[in-house]
Chains A and B, each alone.
Chain A
Amino acid sequence: MKTLSYQTFKPQTQPQNEAAVIQMDDVAETFSSQEHLTKPPKTLIIIPAYNEEKNIGAVLKGIQKILPGFPILVINDGSSDNTEEVVLEHNADVISLPYNSGYGIALQTGFLYAVKNNFSIVVQMDSDGQHDPENIKDLIEEVQKDDCDVVIGSRFLSKNSYKSSLARHAGMLLFGSIASLLCGQKVTDPTSGFQALKGSAIRFAASDNYPPDYPDADFIILMNRCGFKVKEIPVTMHASPVKESMHHGHKTIYYVFKMFLSIFVTLLRRKSSKS
């Protein structure tokens, strides 16, 4: 049986291949206020997608319009439709998993890829068009600051067109309260999949500690207990064009049970520092 302790994460050295750092005028402008930075960091946008042929094209177009030339990696989670073809048509990269493994595993594949290729910032977003690409710059700018390792885009810190069902809202409120209590800071949107991570936080997400099913409130608590600084910023969240959520029917009950169990196991583990 595995020992219940966290791995120690030591900050990696800067990428050796300086030529590999992406030059993007648009992004450089975003970081121009940061005097200590001479080059934009090597940043990757990861989008897990499962049967999203109808929405993924618009999402990619939206990102490419606002951030032209930005590296985008779609993780095709064993889709049975033409998601992969649509992504390739839009000149984005795609990693296709051999079978449907679930949201958390698809997302972690992106983190593994980012670690392998020395990306220093990773932005994760959903493939259904809920997240506004305009906010990517805000997330990157915020995560660049010294006082945070993970930035979460919260739909509840600003006025949004996003409307959720009563049960879903109650769930978010419950897990948000638990996360706030355990983290000692306000967590308004524990289920947000619109996040930016940097440095050792990316390596942590790529490790075995990452919750494979639903990396939501439990992951925020885990990060907080490991000494990572988590911050929320307001983002625009559109109503999902897909009627059926990832958590529907009996899966809602499973989600609530699994989340409680995951938080409980997280609390059982010993606290550890990130470096």
Chain B
Amino acid sequence: MGWLVTGTLMLILSVSEDAIRWVSGLVGATLFTSTLFFFGLLFLMIICLHFSIRISALTQQVRTLTQHVGILDHEKKILEKKIHQPPWQTSTSNLEQT
């Protein structure tokens, strides 16, 4: 979405001289290209910040998933052992006894 909006705005600014003149006057730029680069870089910085936040959240989610996968796999192995173990045999692991 951000890419589409910014792309359209950059296209309008590049095509329409009146628009770029107005925006350049607004930010105080003497060269039109400076205006385009300024907004281009600003957009890239915001995108980077946005991705950084998203990646942090995803890392946290992967971390939680990893931990739960480990615990569930452990529980699965205990249950498998219990199923395949003859009833007269007792468990050797202390955690299984709990």
Contacts and interface: CB of A to CB of B under 8 A. Distances in A.
Contacts of B98: 20, 22, 42, 71, 117
Nearest to B78: A93
Contact of B67 (A1, A44, A70, A97): A97
Interface in A97-126: 97-99, 101, 105, 108-109, 112-113, 116-117
B66 A105 contact: yes
A96 B72 CA distance: 10
B70 A208 contact: no
A44 B97 CA distance: 13
B31 interface: no
A202 to B, nearest CB: 15
B93 A91 contact: yes
A99 B71 CA distance: 14
B34 to A, nearest CB: 32
Contact of B66 (A94, A99, A113): A99
Most buried by A among B53, B67, B68, B70: B70
B71 to A, nearest CB: 6
A109 B71 contact: yes
A105 B93 contact: no
Interface string B62-98: 0100111111011000000000000000001111111
> Most B CB atoms within 10 A — which of A22, A95, A97?
A95
Contacts of B92: 91
B93 A95 contact: no
Interface string A6-49: 00000000000000101000000000000000000010100000
A117 B97 CA distance: 12
Given A112-B71, A208-B60, A101 B94 contact: no
A93 B95 contact: yes
A69 interface: yes
B94 A93 contact: yes
For this complex, into which size category does the number of interface residues on chain B fall? 10 to 19
B96 A95 contact: no
A75 interface: yes
A227 interface: no
B51 to A, nearest CB: 13
A42 B25 CA distance: 72
A212 interface: yes
Contacts of B66: 97-99, 101, 105
Contacts of B70: 75, 95-98, 109
A152 B53 CA distance: 34
A220 interface: no
A96 to B, nearest CB: 6
Interface in A38-76: 42, 44, 69-73, 75
A92 interface: yes
Nearest to B73: A96
A59 to B, nearest CB: 15
B36 to A, nearest CB: 30
A101 B63 CA distance: 8
Most buried by A among B63, B71, B95: B95
A95 B94 contact: no
Interface of A: 1, 20, 22, 42, 44, 69-73, 75, 91-99, 101, 105, 108-109, 112-113, 116-117, 208, 212
8 contacts: A1-B53, A69-B94, A92-B93, A97-B66, A105-B63, A109-B67, A112-B71, A116-B71
